[in-house]
Amino acid sequence: MLKSFSFNIILLLGINLIIKPIYIFGVDAQVQNVLGESEYGTYFGLFSFCYLFQVVLDPGLQNYNITSVSKDNSLFYKQFPKVVFSKALLSLLFGGTILLAAYLFNYSEENIQLLAKILSLQVFISFALTIRTNLSALGEYWKDSLISVVDKLVLILIIVYLFYVLKDSSNFNIQDWINYQLIAFGAVILISTLSLLPHLRQLDFNNLFSGIKSLIKSSLPFALVFLLMTLYTKMDGVMLYRLLDDNGQEAGIYAAGFRLYEACNMFAFLFASLLLPMFSAQLKNTNQIKSLCESALRLIVPFALVAVIASIFYGEAIMRLIYVEGNQYYGQILAILMCSFFMVSLSYVYGTLITATAKLKWFNISFIIGILINWSLNYYLIPLHGAYGAAIATLVTQSFIIFSQLLISHSLIPLVLNSKLIMQTTLAASVSIFIFYVLSNYVTGNWILYLSLSIILSLLVSFLVGLLRFDIAKMVQIKA
Region of residue 206 (left: phi > 0; alpha: psi -120 to 50; beta: else): beta
Please state, in angstroms and rounded to a whole number, the distance separating the CA atoms of residues 349 and 9: 13
Per-residue three-class SS string for 290-345: HHHHHHHHHHHHHHHHHHHHHHHHHHHHHHHHHCCCCCHHHHHHHHHHHHHHHHHH
Please state, in angstroms and rounded to a whole number, the distance separating the CA atoms of residues 35 and 223: 35
Range of the domain at 47: 2-479
* pLDDT at res. 470: 56
Residues in Cβ contact with 161 at an 8 Å cutoff, skipping those fewer than 6 apart: none
- 125-172 residue pLDDT tens: 999 988 887 887 787 777 777 888 899 999 999 998 888 888 877 788
Q: What is the DSSP string of 78-133?
A: HHHHHHHHHHHHHHHHHHHHHHHHHHHTT--HHHHHHHHHHHHHHHHHHHHHHHHH
- What burial letters (b/e) apply to 149-176, b meaning 16+ CB within 10 Å? bbbbbbbbebbeebbeeeeebeebebeb
* pLDDT at res. 211: 66
Please state, in angstroms and rounded to a whole number, the distance separating the CA atoms of residues 43 and 28: 13
* pLDDT at res. 122: 92
Average pLDDT per run of 10 along the chain, which is 480 residues long? 52 71 82 85 86 82 79 82 87 92 88 91 91 80 79 92 82 90 94 88 72 74 69 77 83 86 77 74 76 83 93 93 87 94 90 82 86 91 92 94 89 74 92 94 87 93 84 41
Q: Do the Cβ atoms of 246 and 389 come closer than 8 Å? A: no
pLDDT over 70, % of the chain: 90
* pLDDT at res. 232: 67
Domains held by the chain: number: 1
Q: What is the DSSP string of 347-386?
A: HHHHHHHHHHHT--HHHHHHHHHHHHHHHHHHHHHHHHHT
Residues in Cβ contact with 180 at an 8 Å cutoff, skipping those fewer than 6 apart: 155, 158, 159
